[in-house]
């Protein structure tokens, strides 16, 4: 997952671990089955579509200095609103 010039790239597994999620909970958050997370973690497949967008946005939050515990708390309150806000902010940055 590349997030911009000079930013650190995290694999899906590294991102999951940085945020402190186990496979089952991460699967629930992203609305996929745990086997999908395991395939991403092992590099057999890569996230696509909305899952890739969500992971990219979460990675960008970490790169921007948002603490992992803040991200976890936001996810608990509602991932959709959190991600929509982050994606909107990214869009504004690119204008």
pLDDT at residue 36 above 60?
yes
Burial letters 29-52, b for 16+ CB under 10 A, else e: bbeeeeebbebbbeeeeebeeebe
What is the average pLDDT across 29-56?
Answer: 94
Per-residue model confidence (pLDDT) at position 21: 95
Q: From CA 75, how far away is CA 95, in angstroms rounded? A: 27
- Tokens found for residue 5: 């010039």
Is the pLDDT assigned to residue 7 strictly greater than 70? Answer: no
> What is the overall mean pLDDT for the chain?
84
Distance CA 63, CA 10 (A): 10
Please compute the mean of the pLDDT values over residues 56-63 and round it to a whole number.
Answer: 91
**Banded pLDDT at 34 (limits 50, 70, 90):** very high
> pLDDT-based confidence at 80, cuts 50/70/90?
low
First to last CA, the chain: 21
Q: Is the pLDDT of residue 61 over 80?
A: yes
- The secondary element (H helix, E strand) that includes residue 17 is helix 12-19
Identify the band that residue 25 occupies on the pLDDT scale cut at 50, 70 and 90: very high
């Amino acid at each position: 997952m590349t997030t911009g010039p000079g930013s650190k790239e995290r694999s899906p597994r590294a991102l999951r671990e940085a945020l402190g999620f186990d496979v089952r909970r991460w699967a629930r958050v992203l609305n996929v089955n745990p086997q999908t997370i395991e395939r991403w973690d092992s590099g057999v497949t890569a996230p696509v579509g909305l899952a890739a967008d969500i992971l990219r946005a979460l990675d960008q939050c970490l790169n921007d200095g948002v603490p992992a515990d803040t991200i976890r708390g936001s996810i608990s309150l509602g991932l959709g609103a959190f991600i929509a806000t982050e994606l909107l902010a990214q869009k504004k940055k690119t204008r």
